[in-house]
Amino acid sequence: MTSQTTIYEYISKSRKCGIALLTLIVTMLAPLGTAAQENSATIVIQKDTIPLFRGFSVQFNIAGVATKMLSDRGEIEGALRLNLRDKYFPIVELGYGMADHDDEVMSWQYKTKAPFMRAGIDCNLLRNKHTGNRLYGGLRYGFTSYKVDIMHPGLIDPVWGDIMPVEQLGEKCNQHWAELVFGLDAQIAGPLHLGWNVRYKRRISHKDPSIGNAWYVPGYGKAGGVCWGADFNVIIDI
């Protein structure tokens, strides 16, 4: 009788110890689960606090002016760019292109000046997009409608052998093109940024002068099916 009572008491005590141990483990793990839920909720709230519209910027292309001062062609160009979540940057670029070229070998003279426009979007490629610095890739559509003057002091008539001067003035031309853009903006101080980009340009459609190809197209550069360009911009965030 004494032996049976002792075995019963042992089993009863073991069960009570097991239940107490399980209760202790559950109590210790409960705060960890609550902390994990709170951390997860905090991350989601931080993402939602970034506004869609983050301002806009104005920029001026120094490279186009420098090219005009050092050569026989160039552009005056500015742009307005919106900032959406520091990631997407819709942009409109407006400018005025000029060329006054004399071909000393062939004796041709080419003149043009006209406005041009580009529109597109850039995408910030940096992982941390809120530092003020931007590494971006983008797309552009460009268009210009311009007039050209093409002159030559004299060509030999293949039939009569006479020397005939050529003077084609004010002929209307136009061009549509697309661009791939890759560039970098660096924050210098406060709202002031400096940036550069390179551009791969491909002609979509065009109307050239009737007596030959356009030597220069405003906003596009030297005429051809493919063209490369580069800009250096002063940028102010607003």
pLDDT value of residue 175: 98
Q: Given a cut of 90, is residue 16 above it in pLDDT?
A: no
Burial of residue 35 (CB within 10 Å: 0-12, 13-18, 19+) is exposed
Tokens at residue 166, please?
């050529």
pLDDT value of residue 168: 87
Query: d(Cα 79, Cα 126) in Å, to the nearest integer?
Result: 22
Query: d(Cα 161, Cα 139) in Å, to the nearest integer?
Result: 51
pTM: predicted TM-score of the whole model, two decimal places = 0.75
pLDDT in tens, 39-48: 555 544 455 5
